[in-house]
Amino acid sequence: MGITTKILYAFLSLGVVMVWGLTLNGIVRKIFARVQGRIGPPVYQPFIDIKKSNAKRTGITHGIMFYLGPVFRIAGGVGTYMFIPVIFGSEIFSNFSISGDLLLVMYFIFFGQLGMALGAGEGGHPYSAVGVSRGLAQMTAFEVPFALSVISLAIQHGTLNITEIVAAQQGGILSWTLFTNPLAVTAAMISMLGMNMYNPFSIVIAPQEIPMGPPTEYQGSFLGLLATNRGIFAGAKLVLFMNLYFGGATSLPILMWKTFAIYMFSVFIGAAFPRFKTEDSIKFFLKIPTAIGLLALLIAYL
C-alpha cells in the first residue's frame, strides 16, 4: 500500500472515530439525564454544539500560546489515534501502527494536556490555573497504575507493538488480557476512570466548583476544536483499551460494541458517585491501583 493511500485511509478512520466518539458523548449525556430523571438533549447535541461554537461571529485571543493550546490538544488526540491499529486485520483501519507504537501512544496521551496547560495558562483566568494544576497532578497520578499495567502487558507478550498484542489475544474470549492478566486490566480500568474525568474524578472541569477549569477563556472555534478533540480523544482511548485488554476488534460493529461497553464502565460509575476532593483523588490512584499495578508487574515478571 502506498503512503498516499495509507494517509487517506488514516484520515477516513479518523473521521469515523470522531463521529463515533461524539455520538458516544451524546449517549452519555442522555444516560446522565435519564439517571437524573430527565429527558436529556438529543444524541446529536455535541454536533450542534460544535457547529454553533464554530459559527460565532466574534472572538478574542490572549496571545500565541492561547492559539496553540487547542491546536496542541487536537494534535495530541489525532496523534494518539494515528498510531493505534483500530481494526485487527483491516487494511483501511490499521493507521500508522509500527513496532514501538505503544510507547508513542503513551506519550501522545500526555502531549495534549501539556499543550492545553500552556494555552490555558496564557488565558490568565485564575480558574484556568487551578484547573491546569489539578489536571496535571491527577494525570501524573493515574498515569502510574496505567504505565505499570502497560509494562506488565509488554513483559507478558514480549512486545511493544499493539498489533502483536491484539494478535496474541485472538482465539476466544479466554485469551483476552482480561483473563490472562486480570490484575493489569483492573489497574488500567481504574486509571481509565481518571482519564475520562467523570465523577468521582471530575476535578479538572469541576462544574459548580471551578467552573470549566482550563478552557474558561476559550470560546468560538477554539472551543469547537476542543469539543471535536473530545470526540477523537475519547474514541482513541477506548480503541486503545479495547486493543490492549479486550481482544481488539475484527470488524466495525464489534468495535462499536466493545468501546461502548468500556465507556459505560466509567459512565455508570460517574453517574453513581459524587466528586472526590483534589488531594483524595490523587492519593486514591497512588494507593490501591498502584499496588495492583505493581503486583501485575511482579507476576508478569516472574
One symbol per residue from 184 to 213: x for binding other proteins (CB under 8 A), - otherwise; what is it? -----------------------xx--xx-
The interface region with other proteins, picked from 10-18, 155-163, 174-182, 216-224 by CB under 8 A, is 216-224
Least distance from C-beta 7 to other proteins, angstroms? 30
Residue 272: Cβ within 10 Å count: 10
Collapse the DSSP code of 169 into the 3-class scheme (helix H, G, I; strand E, B; otherwise coil) and give the result.
coil
CA distance 237 to 262: 10
CA distance 145 to 265: 18
Torsion angle (degrees, nearest 10) of CA 247, 255, 81, 281: -70
Least distance from C-beta 47 to other proteins, angstroms? 9
Write out the binding residues for other proteins, residues 19-58 only, by CB under 8 A: 29, 33, 36-42, 45, 48-49, 51-53, 55-58
| 63 lines the binding site for other proteins (CB under 8 A) | no
Write out the binding residues for other proteins, residues 151-180 only, by CB under 8 A: none
User: Which amino acid, one-letter code, is at 125?
Assistant: H
Least distance from C-beta 186 to other proteins, angstroms? 34
Residue number with CB closer to other proteins (33 or 155):
33
Phi, psi of 210 (to 5 degrees): -115, 85
Helical packing angle, 220-245 and 64-82, nearest 10°: 30
Exposed / middle / buried, residue 236 (Cβ in 10 Å: 0-12, 13-18, 19+) = buried
| 217 lines the binding site for other proteins (CB under 8 A) | yes
Least distance from C-beta 34 to other proteins, angstroms? 10
Binding site for other proteins (CB under 8 A): 29, 33, 36-42, 45, 48-49, 51-53, 55-60, 125, 207-208, 211-212, 215-220, 223
